[in-house]
Chain A
Amino acid sequence: MIIVGGSYREVCAYPEWDRIYGSGGRAAVAVSGLAPGSVLHTYAYSGWAADVRATMASFGVRAEVVEIEKELVFEYYHPLSKEPVPKASAGLPRITVSGEVVLSFGMLEGPATVVAGRAVHDPQSDSPEAAFSASGSRAGELAYVVRDYMLAAADSSQEAMDVATRIMADEGASVVVARHAIGGASVYVGDTKPRLVPAYISDTWFKIGSGDVFCAAFAHYWGERRLDPVEAADLASRSVAHFNDGHRLPLPAPHALSALVPQPDTAHGGRVFLSGPAATLPQRWLLDQARWWLLDLGSEVFSPFHEYGERLAASAGPALAGLRACTAVLALADGGDPGTSAVIGHARAVGVPVVVLAEAVAATDLAVHAGMSCEIARDFTTALYRAHLAGMR
């Protein structure tokens, strides 16, 4: 397979992460075992272009690198919080590739021109310049992979199906795959209703680059193995679950993915009780972030702090009543907040599942939580994911 995509430095604070991947690099490593002899075409900062070549070589991937003078870095506080996208210098030479199967990603440095028998394209943005056809690319068969929010039309009378159909018409695509935030996808083929592919459960949720991995696996199974697009998307979704559990690459063969369990198939995301201290700015910031991202994942959120504000101290009764209407608790446990400890105990007593975020809590201090069958998450993103899932069960 030929992969065209960027190589960027990715730096995350929590969990700590400082690597050179980018969509192109990650996808190439991902399929290195499934698709031996793959070739990566990429731009890379001259300061670490040799490291890109060495990394790819160690996985049996040949790297064709256009070196650039500016280091492009994606910075994250946590894997959901990508900060402003870096800007590349203008006027870089365009990458042109041709081959039987090509996976192409939109790049900060500009679009590549692709000629392929079968192509999978992820524009990475809704910019018109990132469209497959905008660079003069063409393919015998084309699958377009986008995030599901990109199928939300500006015109509210249009449905996602209409936007998918328009992409097919404009780009000449026979398949449009819309990835969901929490995993899984909707697969559009022709003018038939989309087929839903489930997300699969992983123990932890790294998230950075999960879309790249989906595209890589889909390109292999649909492009190279010529599986049905729904079947290929299902294997891609399973591959993402494997990857999410600790950024595991390269991807394994399908038989190693067969035991994965689908996420609950419910129309709603459950109702999560959010508990944590808010006495300091960092604590308040974390509460706000947790609430925001849970809502973004599709959960309803009941947060006594946000619900009652200054009346919180006098609202313990209504807050606990609210707890009984929730399907899960996310407890932000760093700092040993007595109120949160009480919520955990009450929730477990009435059978509500509890996910405890404990980034810097000693194992001995978590014994009581473990004894109450709470799920312990060591990083923020995983805690959100587990709470969202627990709420749906």
Chain B
Amino acid sequence: MSGGPPGRRGRAPRRLQQSGDGCDLHLTVDLIGVRREAADRVREGDDLRIELVHEGAAVGAICRNGEGAVVGALAAFPGLTRLLDCLAREVPFVAHVEEVSSTRCVVTVSRTDP
């Protein structure tokens, strides 16, 4: 079969290449542990704030809606550690909402500084 492996749609939403500081990330993922109450107040096209959270020795990344409520977590994708490292260096990122329902929230993560 031509056209590449079946799982790939042919577009390239994930960009993990190094550019300068290594934080030129651009990826589309769905959030883990979506919280229904917070997701219900999110619309397609919204921008979610991405924050680092520390729990003991563990570090994770979460997305908050405009009211500050946690919508879900960013995890389980290639490039997570690079994103965490960039967030730790205070490189700003935003999660643009592509699809949202009470149980699912798909976001595109990209940096916001010039």
Interface 0/1 of B1-45, CB less than 8 Å to A? 000011111000110000000000000111011100000000000
Contact between A58 and B6, CB atoms less than 8 A apart: no
Q: How large is the interface on A (under 10, 10 to 19, 20 to 34, 35 or more residues)?
A: 35 or more
B83-106 CB contacts (< 8 Å) to partner A: 84, 101, 103-104, 106
Query: Are A13 and B6 in contact, CB atoms less than 8 angstroms apart?
Result: yes
Q: Does A110 contact B (CB under 8 A)?
A: no
**B interface with A by C-beta (< 8 Å):** 5-9, 13-14, 28-30, 32-34, 55-61, 73, 75-81, 84, 101, 103-104, 106
Q: Do the beta carbons of B59 and A11 come within 8 Å of each other?
A: no
A83 touches B34 (CB 8 A): no
- Name 16 A/B residue pairs within 8 A (Cβ), A-sorted: A12-B7, A13-B9, A14-B9, A16-B13, A17-B30, A18-B29, A25-B76, A51-B78, A51-B80, A55-B75, A57-B60, A58-B55, A58-B61, A58-B73, A246-B30, A246-B34
A20 with B78: CB separation less than 8 A: yes
- CA A19 to CA B60, docked complex, whole Å: 16
A13 touches B8 (CB 8 A): yes
Is the Cβ of B76 less than 8 Å from the Cβ of A19?
A: yes
Taken residue by residue from 39 to 62, chain A's Cβ proximity to chain B (1 for < 8 Å, 0 otherwise) reads as 000000001101101110111100
The answer to whether A11 and B78 touch across the interface, beta carbons within 8 angstroms, is no
Most buried by A among B5, B8, B101, B103: B103
The distance from the CB of A377 to the nearest CB of chain B, in whole angstroms, is 13
CA distance A75 to B13 in the complex (A): 17
A20: B residues at CB distance < 8 A:
76-78
Is A334 interfacial (CB-CB < 8 Å)? no
Whether A11 lies near B80 (C-beta < 8 A) is no
